Amino acid sequence: MKTQFQTPDFLLDAPISSVDGMSLTWYYFGYSYPLAVIIGLFQIGGSILLLYRRTTLLGVMILLPVMVNIVLINGFYTISVGAFFNSVIYSLALIFLLLLHIEKLKMVFWDLVDHLPAVSFGRSWIRHSLRVLPIAVAFISLKILISNRPYDQTLKGTWKVEKLIRNGQVQPNTAWLTDMRAWSRVYFAGYEGCAFSPNPYRFEPSESLLGSYEFDSLQSKLQVAFYSNDTLRATISNRTSETMRLQGVLDRDTLDMQLTRVRR
């Protein structure tokens, strides 16, 4: 019926950092109408199953995961107090109905032993080791991935360009209106790469230079590989937690930028 997950048009033009958890949740779930319909059908279908004794347990099994997820969203995304209270009450009611079938559940999930084909590896410690192996492989793979993509986290964040000097010429504060390389914001996002944006009020990918970067904190050397095939090689100096100076060469331009961290 489209009575849920409808975002007011004025919020669509708001910076994402200024939007509260309620609005973010509503926009996220409302982005896909089929998803909203599926969630609604699960709740309606599960509720109908609760009306019949034969299907009560099935209804609880369908509804409880949905309701627990709603409770967590309501709590951690600061949805209204009334919605949170209702979701907790519904979840407790479902847990009560679930406990009425505790003996059946214990028999199915604990007492029942599947008679799968036996696989013998000799000693029991080998079988236990094989159970742990997938977990170890997952963590080791993640560690290798991180080691092969080293990024110094000291640059990570949003930086305001207080002063931009290109080829010895100081760029006016309004230069970004006509020149997309008169940057007003520099974003270093770690594994997500970086962006040099001209607009001081919003980020528009089509106007910005996007790429990946590597920073050697020992030598204060920065290299940015932009997706436009340009490469910036720069030196970072006067670096503190709040300010730094970036000097380098991009294409045929020499750059000198004074940056100040933007706290969010």
In terms of pLDDT, which residue wins out, 227 or 128?
227
In terms of pLDDT, which residue wins out, 89 or 144?
89
Q: How confident is the model at residue 43 (pLDDT cuts 50, 70, 90)?
A: very high
- pLDDT of 153 reads 76
- Per-residue pLDDT tens digits for 4-15: 888 888 888 888
In angstroms, the CA 95 to CA 11 distance is 37
- Per-residue pLDDT tens digits for 138-149: 999 988 887 776
In terms of pLDDT, which residue wins out, 159 or 112?
159
Of 32-46, 92-106, 118-132, the one with minimum mean pLDDT is 118-132
Residue 222: left (phi > 0), alpha (psi -120 to 50), or beta? beta
- pLDDT of 119 reads 63
- Per-residue pLDDT tens digits for 170-185: 999 999 999 999 999 9
- pLDDT of 122 reads 63
Distances, alpha carbon 142 to alpha carbons 127, 136, 138, 145, in Å: 24, 10, 6, 5
Q: How confident is the model at residue 129 (pLDDT cuts 50, 70, 90)?
A: confident
**Of the candidates 162, 238, 228, the residue with the CA atom closest to the CA atom of residue 200:** 162
In angstroms, the CA 106 to CA 5 distance is 38
For the question of whether the overall pTM of this predicted structure is more than 0.75, the answer is: no
- Per-residue pLDDT tens digits for 221-246: 999 999 999 999 999 999 998 999 99
Average pLDDT over residues 40-54: 95
**Of the candidates 221, 218, 210, 216, the residue with the CA atom closest to the CA atom of residue 187:** 210
